[in-house]
Copies of this chain bind each other. A is one copy, B any other.
Amino acid sequence: MRKYTFCVLFISFLFRLNPGFAQTARQPNFIIILADDLGYGDLSSYGHPTIRTPNLDRMALEGTRFTQFYVAANVCSPSRAALLTGRLPIRNGVFGTNAANKVFFTNSTSGLPKRETTLPKALKGKGYQTAIVGKWHLGHLPEFLPLNYGFDSYLGIPYSNDMGKEPSFAARDGKAFGTTNPPLPLYRDDKLIETEPDQNLLTKRFTTEVTDLITKNRSKPFFIYYASPFPHVPLHASPGFAGKSKRGPYGDVVEELDWSVGQILSKLKEHKLDKNTLVIFLSDNGPWLIRSLIDETGGSAGLLYEAKASTYEGGMRVPAIAWMPGTVKNQISSAVATSMDLYPTILQLTGIDIPKDKPLDGNNIIDILKGKSDKVTDVVYYYDANNLYAIRKGAYKAHFKTNASYSQKPAEEHNPPLLYNLEHDPSEKFEIGKKYPEVVAELVAAYKKHLEGVVPVEAELDKR
């Protein structure tokens, strides 16, 4: 008894001596929080005038706020596939060959190819508990649901929140978009537990699921992928948030998502897991700005041109914040990075060897997160479905093809490509190709080289 008391005292003494002791004794945890259709300009810390996001702003102040962070696609499914595989959609197969097949729909018959080693699948090899909460959108048929890809648990919807019975496009052309869809399913693991769930309560339910997972796994390493279905339309917020934001319904939803992030970070602190958990917040693509032709429910790309579904910056540069007090530096970083970097970064932080069997499109960015480097990703590729529209190398971006979604300009090819200096001119206003022919030549060469290295795979999004 005495020995036991002494032991407890001694251990608590050690913990007092070094409060990080308990936290560093084990593998780091990872939480990826993915917003849906949140624009580059939609958080206070990214300059929105009337949306208030104090939790994300504090996360940004305590961590790294990226200003040149990209996703791999300008719409949902391919962006998510790239995040989870560290590979471009053109390599992992989650792309279509025409404009109608840019994401998985309710009549799609495919999903993320099983040959891919997803992030949770790789982490399982190191004993991680893995969970997905929220929107999947990489195949809704039973064989393509998340538990087939390395996730231990799932609470969420299999595709976008407008793919149920609730019409979200009714106002545009008089035709209701969603009405031919089956009722929106809600899954717990591989079981359908509800249809047409009350979307007003989804953020609260998903938040509880994430915080419960943190509590449940507090002494095991875990990976949680929390893919909020919002602020994708239809917009739904819980009674505590609905009608509260100056920004209207869109702001209500973003502010509830901000609250949700705050709950998660608090739960990590409560369990003293904050110093041992890398949390990444980002959006899956630009805002659905075409909504602003219909109503006020489309987000804002801030100073960036264009929006979701476009290969201009507004479509593919997203707000992104990394947080792990004591490890991730508190900084604003203009290093170029992409969502595909999370895959090798997370694997290397856990000591897992990067799989060598397939080409990866991400880089380990831990030195950027620690503030030891701002070495940029060499080249960013802007695909629209199976077409490489543009590339960025250093500060320069060359558009070989453009197709502005919100401004509804038709697709156009550019030969020579249009050139912009994104660091001088983030809004892509001033074309400088004639002034820098040698840069154009360099980007044309990089473009060709990349395309030569892409081995064709089947287009999963075409399968309907």
Which A residues form the contact surface with B (CB < 8 A)? 41, 44-50, 52, 61, 67-68, 246-248, 250-251, 289, 292-296, 300-303, 332, 334, 395, 421, 423-427, 429-430, 432
Whether the Cβ atoms of B50 and A426 lie closer than 8 Å is yes
Partner of A300, one of B248, B294, B426: B426
What are some 23 contacts across the A-B interface (CB < 8 A)? A41-B302, A44-B332, A45-B47, A47-B302, A47-B303, A49-B67, A49-B423, A52-B332, A61-B61, A246-B423, A247-B424, A250-B424, A289-B429, A292-B425, A292-B427, A294-B430, A296-B424, A296-B432, A300-B303, A300-B426, A302-B302, A302-B303, A303-B303
Q: Taking the full assembly, how many copies of this chain does it contain?
A: 2
A41 pairs with B47, CB closer than 8 A = yes
A421 touches B296 (CB 8 A): yes
Q: Closest 7 A-B residue pairs measured CB to CB?
A: A47-B47, A49-B67, A248-B424, A296-B424, A292-B429, A246-B423, A50-B423
Q: Is the CB of A395 within 8 A of B426?
A: no
Residue of B nearest to A406 (CB): B429
Q: State the CA gap A52–B334 with chains docked (Å).
A: 10
Residues of B within 8 A of A430 (CB): 292-296
A61 to B296, CA, bound (A): 30
- Whether A47 pairs with B49 at a CB distance below 8 angstroms is no
B300 A427 Cβ-Cβ under 8 A: yes
Chain B residues with CB under 8 A of A424: 50, 247-248, 250-251, 296
Closest to A40 in B: B47
The docked-state distance in angstroms from the alpha carbon of A130 to that of B431 is: 46
- Give the residue name and chain of the B residue nearest to A319 (CB): B47
For the complex formed, measure the closest distance between the CB of A294 and the CB atoms of chain B, giving whole angstroms. 8
A268 shortest CB reach to chain B, Å: 24
Pick the most buried of A46, A52, A68, A303: most chain B CB atoms within 10 A of its CB: A303
A49-B67, A52-B332 known; 19 new pairs, CB 8 Å cut-off, are A41-B302, A44-B332, A47-B47, A48-B67, A48-B426, A49-B334, A50-B68, A50-B423, A247-B423, A247-B424, A248-B421, A248-B423, A289-B429, A292-B427, A293-B429, A296-B421, A296-B432, A301-B303, A303-B303
Chain B residues lying within 8 Å of A68, measured Cβ to Cβ, are 49-50
Chain B residues with CB under 8 Å of A300's CB are 303, 426-427
CB distance from A149 to the nearest CB of B (A): 34
What are the residues of chain B within 8 A of A250 when measuring CB–CB? 424
A49 (CB) vs chain B CBs: closest residue: B67
- Docked CA distance A359–B332 (Å): 45
State A248–B426 Cα separation when bound (angstroms): 12
- What residues of chain B lie closer than 8 Å to A246, measured between beta carbons? 334, 395, 423
Least CB separation from A251: chain B residue: B424
- With a cutoff of 8 Å between Cβ atoms, the chain B residues found around residue A302 in the complex are 41, 47, 302-303
Q: How far is the CA of A50 from the CA of B317 in the complex (A)?
A: 14
- For A48, the closest partner residue in chain B by CB is B303
C-alpha gap A301/B296 in the complex (Å): 20
Report how far A246 CA is from B293 CA in the complex, Å. 34
A424–B243 Cα distance when bound, in Å, is: 12
| Chain B min CB distance to A207 (Å) | 24
Which residues of chain B are near A334, meaning CB under 8 Å? 49-50, 246
The residue in A41, A48, A49, A67 that gathers the most chain B C-beta atoms within 10 A of its C-beta is A49
Residues in B neighbouring A247, C-beta threshold 8 A: 423-424
**In whole angstroms, what is the CA distance A248 to B422 when docked?**
11
Contacts of A45 in B (CB 8 A): 47
